[in-house]
Amino acid sequence: MKAAVSTILLAAAVRAVPAPAANIDTNTLLPFSIPNVFNLIPRTSEINKKREGWLYGTFPFGVAPYPTGKLADKKIAEDEAIWKPPVFELGAIIQNETQQAVEAVIAAGNFSTLDDYHKVYTNLWQTSLPSGPLPGMLTNHTDDRTFSMMRLSSVPFRIHRVKVDDSLLFPVDEEISKSITGHTLEELHAQGRLFAEDFEEMKDQETTTAYGAGCQAYFYIDDAGDFLPLAIRLVVKGREDSALVYTPKDIRDEWLFAKMTINANDGWHSTWGHTTMSHSAAEAPYLAAIRTLSESHPVMALLNRSKRFNHFLSPSLDDHANFEWIVENTPWGIRPNLQDSLVNGSMDTGPKYYPWSADAARAWANKVYSSGETANYTSNMFYNSLRRRGLIDYEHGPALKSFPFYEDGAVLMSAFEEVFMSFVNSYYKNDKAVAHDREIQAWLRETVPAQVHDFPKQIQTKKDLVGILSHQAYLGSVVHAIMSGNGNQLDIMALPFTAAGWQSPIPTKKGVITDIMEWMPTPEGAAWQVATYAAGNRASWKDTEMTLAYMFEDEELQRRMNAPTRAAMAKFKNDMFALSDKWRARGFDENGLDRGMPYIWNVLDPKWAIYWSVV
Ligand SMILES: *[C@@H]1O[C@H](CO)[C@@H](O)[C@H](O)[C@H]1NC(C)=O
Ligand SMILES: *[C@@H]1O[C@H](CO)[C@@H](O)[C@H](O)[C@H]1NC(C)=O
Ligand SMILES: *[C@@H]1O[C@H](CO)[C@@H](O)[C@H](O)[C@H]1NC(C)=O
Ligand SMILES: *[C@@H]1O[C@H](CO)[C@@H](O)[C@H](O)[C@H]1NC(C)=O
Ligand SMILES: *[C@@H]1O[C@H](CO)[C@@H](O)[C@H](O)[C@H]1NC(C)=O
Ligand SMILES: *[C@@H]1O[C@H](CO)[C@@H](O)[C@H](O)[C@H]1NC(C)=O
Ligand SMILES: [Fe+2]
């Protein structure tokens, strides 16, 4: 009853205060503020107008609700005018660079071995991918540690420990397991040293003329504490009962073939999974926020990151033009872009090179979204996800000796938490003030009709709010950088260690793959793969204000925030600069490794990773 009384008092108080002019220009000069007695009426009226103009709709690509309505349509059209030209411009450049790459490979004598695939990168893609794959990827791909450690860095989202109560995916011959690990599969399982990845569901997707399988794999922690692969099972539709299991004891090219076949599964998971795990998972609560938070709310300001920047697609453009775009976060661009690519084939999603069709990509993305795997908000929070999968804090088995994704991610998570904690502390006196923020509480309620999966059940404390803001920042920067940004094109989807699909069928018996080249893409196929992934890369944004270090570097944003928040944002940027310097000093040690990896994984470098989910 107390709440009702105070609301009436509030309304009375508000009536005595002249409403600020509804002029947008005036509003953009005012400091951000949380709801209070005085702004109830103007803000309620502003929010109601927004709610009328931002409605829930659907989009042909599927997944989360897509905004529709007068205001939404206008904003989407404005955004499109911003994201389309550079995307098309980059596309034209890539087309040119693709032709150059095919010609260069042929001029250099085509491919005869896997090592020859460096030819499709070296001195090519000057604009779209000038530095090629991560250091070590072109030279150390046959090393088993490259394969296993990628699961703890480049593709960390499906790997999990086989917990003591979990069942096994498939059996491995006892003698073979012992000769590799010194133990049987059951012993490794009982000791909490067994890990798995399961992509079997991919075998059922609509196929193309290329070949693939839905793979399952085991990894283990050896007696020295290293994380290594044990076995891979290649499952082909219709041949499930005779699925072959490969291990490091198989002939060289056959074991390599098995590793590369599951790499293609993980690459598909990153490519299509990122559209929902980074984009849609963040878009759904954002749309709920638009419908409930005033544009003057400081939380809304953080969610709606917009900035002015110099968009240099290439040094050559730099020479004759100073392109200045005002880029919003353009979150609503990704699905139209994907849909166009799928329907019109402008991105050529196949059918020649991926084993699965464009329709399969869309169907699979919707499946992992609706299952909660990629859509779940709370269970996908950084620590929750790792803990749930037994990768950290697991009591029945040893800890991972080196876990680069966790180590780098944790540093960034605490930087996010620090800046958001300063922010929340400066706007809210105490937990009660958070619980009493009527707009934040409306946002929480709105996540139900907004169909946000697994959103936190309450926002009662400062910590609750910090957790949500940190996760939102994590989805847009860390998850996107790994699954799309600088990540997949430079590691999991880089040649020669991953071919998007095979050019010959998956064998029905052992001993037939004596030369893997029969399965590998031609120069045209290799160039197609580089081009497809280069389109998602923003090589020219390295060291620019588009990077994570500049997440809060925006004049208007900072001007309208309070002084403690401005200070926290400045500290964040300084910390990120120092972190970047530190991470850039990484290199191969005397064993040719960096943190146990035969390649340098610097994908989260704060002056390289982009801070937002790029269209
Ligand atoms: C394509 O590449 C060639 C050779 O580098 C260059 O001369 C030409 O201007 C490029 N065209 C476009 C559209 O980028
Ligand atoms: C390159 O080699 C592959 C495999 O031998 C062959 O199929 C292809 O036709 C060759 N391409 C050219 C342009 O020689
Ligand atoms: C987000 O910020 C931009 C730029 O300031 C503004 O045009 C837009 O109205 C804001 N709100 C939404 C919901 O996009
Ligand atoms: C895809 O095709 C539709 C219908 O022809 C067209 O309106 C749209 O602009 C096309 N998109 C692209 C990216 O070409
Ligand atoms: C997603 O979250 C719901 C609870 O909100 C849970 O029941 C479900 O198991 C989660 N799914 C996954 C794949 O984690
Ligand atoms: C990995 O490759 C780099 C150079 O590309 C080399 O210096 C290093 O020794 C290699 N590491 C291993 C373990 O082979
Ligand atoms: Fe993206």
What mean pLDDT do residues 71-87 have?
86
Among candidate residues 204, 221, 241, 231, the one with its CA nearest the CA of residue 149: 221
Please name which ligand lies nearest the alpha carbon of 89. Answer: 1
Residue-level pLDDT at 538:
83
Q: Which fold has domain 2-147+268-352+374-504+524-584?
A: Lipoxygenase-1; domain 5 (1.20.245)
The answer to whether 37 and 13 are in contact (CB under 8 A) is yes
Predicted pLDDT of residue 342: 67
Residue whose CA is at the smallest distance from ligand 6 atom 4: 136
* Mean pLDDT to the nearest integer, 561-576: 98
Which residue bears the tokens 């919003």?
Answer: 328
Average pLDDT over every residue of 532-539: 85
N-terminal to C-terminal alpha carbon distance within the chain = 48
Arithmetic mean of pLDDT, 191-208: 97
- Report helix, strand or coil for 335: helix
Buried b (16+ CB within 10 A) or exposed e, 421-457: bbbbebbbeeeeebbbbbbbbbbbebbeebbbbbbbe
Span of 9-23, 52-66, 211-225, 240-254 with lowest mean pLDDT: 9-23
* Band of residue 6 on the pLDDT scale cut at 50, 70, 90: very low
CA dist., res. 463 & res. 476, Å (int): 20
Running DSSP on this structure, what letter comes out for residue 81?
A: H
**Stretch among 56-65, 332-341, 435-444 having the lowest mean pLDDT:** 332-341
Q: Say what the pLDDT of residue 254 is.
A: 98
Distance of alpha carbon 112 from its chain centroid, rounded?
34
pLDDT score recorded for residue 351: 54
**Predicted pLDDT at 528:** 92
Per-residue pLDDT, 339: 76
Question: Model confidence over 93-109: pLDDT tens digits?
Answer: 999 999 999 999 999 99
Ligand 3 in reach of 287 Cβ (< 6 A): no
Task: Give pLDDT, residue 71.
Answer: 96
Tell me the C-alpha distance between 214 and 56, whole Å. Answer: 35
pLDDT range class, residue 8, cuts 50, 70, 90: very low
Any idea which ligand is nearest the CA of 368? 5
Ligand 5: residue whose CA is nearest its atom 5 = 454
3-state secondary structure of 221: strand
pLDDT at 437: 98
Q: Are 576 and 549 a contacting pair, CB within 8 Å?
A: yes
Mean per-residue pLDDT, 46-72? 94
Which ligand has its closest atom nearest to the C-alpha of 116? 2
Measured from the Cα of 344, ligand 4's closest atom is 1
Cα(545) to centroid(ligand 1), Å: 27
Distance 340 CA to ligand 4 centre (A): 6
- Indicate if ligand 3 lies below 6 Å from the C-beta of 27: no
CA distance 316 to 127: 9
- Predicted confidence at residue 78, as pLDDT, reads 85
Nearest-atom index, ligand 4, CA of 337: 13
What pLDDT sits at residue 546?
Answer: 87
Q: What are the phi and psi torsion angles at 229 (to 5°)? A: -80, 150
Task: Supply the mean pLDDT for the chain.
Answer: 89
- In the predicted structure, residue 338 carries a pLDDT above the cut 80: no
541 pLDDT band (50/70/90 cuts)?
confident
Structure pTM? 0.91
Please give the helix or strand (H or E) that residue 325 lies within, else none.
strand 324-327
Q: What percent of the chain has pLDDT over 70?
A: 89
pLDDT band at 539 (very low <50, low <70, confident <90, very high): confident
Q: What tens digit of pLDDT does each residue of 579-599 get?
A: 999 999 999 999 999 999 999
Nearest protein Cα to ligand 2, atom 7? 522
Q: What does the pLDDT look like over 125-136, one tens digit per residue? A: 999 999 999 999
- The pLDDT score that the predictor gives to residue 327 is 28
Is residue 317 within 8 Å of 177, Cβ to Cβ? no
Q: Can you list the positions of beta strands (E) in 132-255? A: 160-161, 194-198, 214-221, 227-235, 244-246
Q: What is the pLDDT of residues 278-332, one digit of tens each?
A: 999 999 999 999 999 999 999 999 998 754 433 433 322 332 222 223 223 567 8
88 Cα: distance to centroid of ligand 4 (angstroms): 13
**CB-based contact 158:197 (threshold 8 Å):** yes
Angstrom CA distances, 400 to 3, 191, 515, stand at 50, 14, 35
CA dist 234 and 355 (Å) reads: 14
Q: What is the pLDDT of residues 110-152, one digit of tens each?
A: 999 999 999 999 999 999 999 999 999 999 999 999 999 999 9
pLDDT of residue 62: 86
Q: What is the mean pLDDT of residues 166-179?
A: 98
> How far is it, in rounded angstroms, from Cα 573 to Cα 581?
13
- State the angle between helix axes of 70-107 and 40-53 in degrees (0 to 180), rounded to the nearest 10: 60
- The answer to whether the CB of 554 is under 6 A from ligand 3 is no
Higher pLDDT, 20 or 600: 600
Q: Is residue 498 very low, low, confident or very high in pLDDT (cuts 50, 70, 90)?
A: very high
